[in-house]
C-alpha cells in the first residue's frame, strides 16, 4: 500500500509538472523560434586605445537557416562574420554570471535589504529572478540597472512553487540545495539539456543532511520534487567534487540556513576551485565565514545568518572578458576590458596570465585588464592544465588555431556536463575549419591546418560560449558563419553587436 501511494504521488507530481509548463523539448529560451539542437556531437597603464563599443550597423549579416530534424523542418538563425581586422578598443564588461546569481540568492536569504549594482541582465539571471519572485521575494527594479532585494530572513514566504530554470546551472543547483534544506513542496525543472546535466552528487549530500529530494525523470538528473526536510542529526556531509564545483557551492550556501554547525568533506578531487573561492568570498560579504581546510574540509559555524551589505557591486564577467583579451592577442591590437582587474575575485582573470605565457603583453589595473602583442612576436603553442580556468579555457581552443602547432588543453572533464558536451562540440566544429582534433575523456589536442576553411558553418549547440569562441575565427583571415547567435543571451545578449563594433571587414 505504501509503495502504491508513493507511486501515485510521484505520478501526480509528474502530471502537475507537465501541465504547469508550455516549454517543449525543442523550444529553447534564447530564440523566439523553434530550433534544432545538434546532439551529435590602480595601475593607470598606458594605452592608445580608443573606445569602440556599439555601432548602429554591425558589419555582419543575419540569415534565416532551415534544418530538418525528425522529418520536421524548423527555423533558426545564423550570422556571417567577414574576415576582419580589429580596432584598438575598450570594452565595458557585463556583470559576472557567477557573482550575479550567487548574490541574488544570498540577498534573498538575508535578514535585511541589499541594493545590487551592475547585475548581469541575461537569460540565466532572469531565470533566478523569476524563481525568487515565485518564492515570494520582494524585488524592486530601480534606475540604471540597479535593483533592491528585500531579504526573507532565511525562509522563503512561499513554501509551494513550480520553478522553470531553463538551462541555468547557477540557478538550478543552489536553489535545489536551499529549498531542500528549508523544505516545502517544490518542483524544479528546465530545458531538455538541463535534464541531461547530472545533479546526483548534490542530491546524495542533501539526503544525508535530511532533505527529501525525488527524481521525477531519470535517476540522478532533473526534474526534481523537493519535500519537507527531516533533520536526522547528521553534521558531517560528504560530497563529490569531480563533476561540478556547483554542487559544493550549493551545499555551502544552503547549510547555514539550518542554524547548525556542519562539516563538509570532499570525496575525491575538487575541480574548478576558483569558483569555490567566489562562493566563500561572497558568503563572507554576507556575514557567514566558512573555514576552508585546503579544499578538503569546509566548516560552517552554528547560528550562522546571512546579513547583506547595504550596497553590492557585481564585477564584470571574467569569462566573457576572455574573448576580447584573446582578440587582442590574435590580432596584435591593444584591447582593454573594464569591470575586472588585479583584485578580482574571479578565477578566470588568470586567463590573461595564460595569454602572457604565449606571447601577450598584459597590463593590469584596479578595474581593467589590457592585452596586446607586438606583430613581430608569434603566438606560441601551449600544453595547459586548464582546471583553474574551465570556462575561459574554451577560448584557448580557438587561440590554438593562431599558433601553427599542436596545442593541448588538459583536465577539462567538466566541459562534458556543461550547456553541451563541450569537448565533443569543440572538436566537431574545429574540424569544420580544417583542424585535426583528438578528443580524450578530459583533454583535447588541436593541430591547426595550414589554411583555415572559409565560411565554415559552426553549430553552437545552444551553448553561449561556443558562439562567442568561434567569433574569433573571423580575426584569423577567413569569414565564418555561426548558427544560433542568440544563444549568447544566456550571459551576454549584446555580444555580437559589441564584437562587430570592434572590427573592420578585411
- Is 490 marked within a binding site? yes
Q: Establish whether 68 is an annotated binding residue.
A: no
* Dihedral of alpha carbons 160, 161, 162, 168, sign: negative
Ligand-binding annotation for 4, yes or no, is no
Q: Is 391 considered catalytic here?
A: yes
Cell of 395: 577560448
Left, alpha or beta for 483 (phi > 0: left; psi -120 to 50: alpha)? beta
Annotated ligand binding at 97? The verdict is: yes
Q: Is 98 annotated as a binding residue?
A: yes
Residue 197 known to bind ligand:
yes
Give the orientation angle of helix 318-331 with respect to helix 464-471, to 10 degrees: 20
Stated length of the chain: 506
148 annotated among ligand-binding-site residues: no
Annotated binding residue 289: no
Dihedral sign, Cα of residue 399, residue 401, residue 403, residue 408: positive
Q: Is the dihedral of CA 482, 486, 489, 490 positive or negative?
A: negative
- Residue 173 among known ligand-binding residues: no
Which residues, at least 6 apart from 265, have a Cβ–Cβ distance to it below 8 Å? Answer: 236, 237, 238, 239, 296, 297
Q: Are 191 and 28 in contact (CB under 8 A)?
A: yes
Q: What is the dihedral of CA 477, 483, 489, 493, to 10 degrees?
A: 40
Q: Is 71 annotated as a binding residue?
A: no
The annotation status of 169 as a binding-site residue, yes or no, is yes
CA distances from 200 to 7, 95, 132, 223 (A): 20, 30, 24, 11
Q: Which three cell numbers, joined as nine digits, stand for 364?
A: 593590469
Residue 233 among known ligand-binding residues: no
Cβ-contact 239, 266 below 8 angstroms = yes
Which position among 124, 201, 317, 391 bears the catalytic label? 391
Residue ranges of the annotated binding site are 97-98, 102, 169, 197, 244-246, 272, 391, 418, 422, 465, 490
Residue ranges of the annotated binding site for 3-phosphoshikimate are 97-98, 102, 244-246, 272, 391, 418
Residue ranges of the annotated binding site for phosphoenolpyruvate are 97, 169, 197, 246, 422, 465, 490
Q: Which residues are designated catalytic?
A: 391
Amino acid at each position: 500500500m505504501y509503495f502504491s501511494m508513493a507511486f501515485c504521488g510521484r505520478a501526480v507530481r509528474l502530471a502537475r509538472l507537465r501541465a504547469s509548463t508550455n516549454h517543449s523539448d525543442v523550444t529553447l529560451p534564447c530564440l523566439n523560434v523553434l530550433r534544432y539542437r545538434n546532439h551529435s556531437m590602480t595601475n593607470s597603464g598606458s594605452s592608445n586605445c580608443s573606445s569602440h563599443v556599439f555601432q548602429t550597423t554591425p558589419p555582419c549579416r543575419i540569415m534565416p537557416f532551415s534544418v530538418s530534424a525528425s522529418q520536421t523542418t524548423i527555423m533558426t538563425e545564423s550570422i556571417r562574420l567577414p574576415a576582419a581586422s580589429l580596432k584598438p578598443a575598450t570594452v565595458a564588461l557585463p556583470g559576472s554570471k557567477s557573482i550575479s546569481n550567487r548574490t541574488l540568492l544570498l540577498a534573498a536569504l538575508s535578514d535585511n535589504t541589499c541594493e545590487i549594482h551592475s547585475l548581469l541582465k541575461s537569460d540565466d539571471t532572469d531565470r533566478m529572478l523569476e524563481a525568487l519572485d515565485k518564492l515570494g521575494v520582494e524585488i524592486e527594479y530601480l534606475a540604471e540597472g540597479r535593483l533592491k532585494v528585500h531579504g526573507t530572513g532565511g525562509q522563503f514566504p512561499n513554501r509551494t512553487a513550480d520553478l522553470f530554470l531553463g538551462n541555468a546551472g547557477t540557478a538550478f543547483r543552489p536553489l535545489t540545495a536551499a529549498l531542500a534544506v528549508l523544505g516545502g513542496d517544490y518542483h524544479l525543472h528546465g530545458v531538455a539539456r538541463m535534464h541531461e546535466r547530472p545533479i546526483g552528487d548534490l542530491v546524495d549530500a542533501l539526503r544525508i543532511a535530511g532533505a527529501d529530494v525525488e527524481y521525477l525523470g531519470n535517476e540522478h538528473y532533473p526534474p526534481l520534487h523537493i519535500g519537507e526536510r527531516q533533520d536526522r542529526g547528521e553534521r558531517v556531509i560528504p560530497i563529490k567534487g569531480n563533476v561540478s564545483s556547483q554542487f559544493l557551492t550549493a551545499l555551502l550556501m544552503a547549510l547555514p540556513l539550518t542554524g547548525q554547525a556542519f562539516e563538509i568533506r570532499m570525496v575525491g578531487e575538487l575541480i574548478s576551485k576558483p569558483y569555490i573561492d567566489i562562493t566563500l568570498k561572497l558568503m563572507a560579504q554576507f556575514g557567514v565565514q566558512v573555514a576552508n581546510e585546503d579544499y578538503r574540509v569546509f566548516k560552517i559555524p552554528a547560528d550562522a545568518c546571512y546579513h547583506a551589505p547595504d550596497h553590492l557591486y557585481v564585477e564584470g564577467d571574467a569569462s566573457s572578458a576572455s574573448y576580447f583579451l584573446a582578440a587582442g592577442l590574435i590580432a596584435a591590437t591593444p584591447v582593454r576590458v573594464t569591470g575586472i582587474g588585479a583584485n578580482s575575485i574571479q578565477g578566470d582573470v588568470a586567463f590573461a596570465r595564460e595569454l602572457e605565457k604565449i606571447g601577450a603583453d598584459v597590463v593590469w589595473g584596479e578595474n581593467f585588464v589590457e592585452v596586446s602583442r607586438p606583430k613581430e612576436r608569434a603566438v606560441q603553442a601551449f600544453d595547459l592544465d586548464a582546471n583553474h580556468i574551465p570556462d575561459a579555457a574554451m577560448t584557448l581552443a580557438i587561440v590554438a588555431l593562431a599558433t601553427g602547432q599542436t596545442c593541448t588543453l588538459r583536465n577539462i572533464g567538466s566541459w562534458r556536463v556543461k550547456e553541451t558536451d563541450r569537448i565533443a562540440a569543440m572538436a566537431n566544429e574545429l574540424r569544420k575549419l580544417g583542424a585535426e582534433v583528438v578528443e580524450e575523456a578530459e583533454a583535447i589536442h588541436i593541430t591547426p591546418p595550414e589554411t583555415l576553411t572559409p565560411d565554415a558553418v559552426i553549430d553552437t549547440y545552444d551553448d553561449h560560449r561556443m558562439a562567442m569562441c568561434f567569433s574569433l575565427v573571423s580575426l584569423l583571415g577567413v569569414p565564418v558563419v555561426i548558427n544560433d547567435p542568440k544563444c549568447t543571451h544566456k550571459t551576454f545578449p549584446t555580444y555580437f553587436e559589441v564584437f562587430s563594433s570592434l572590427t573592420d571587414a578585411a
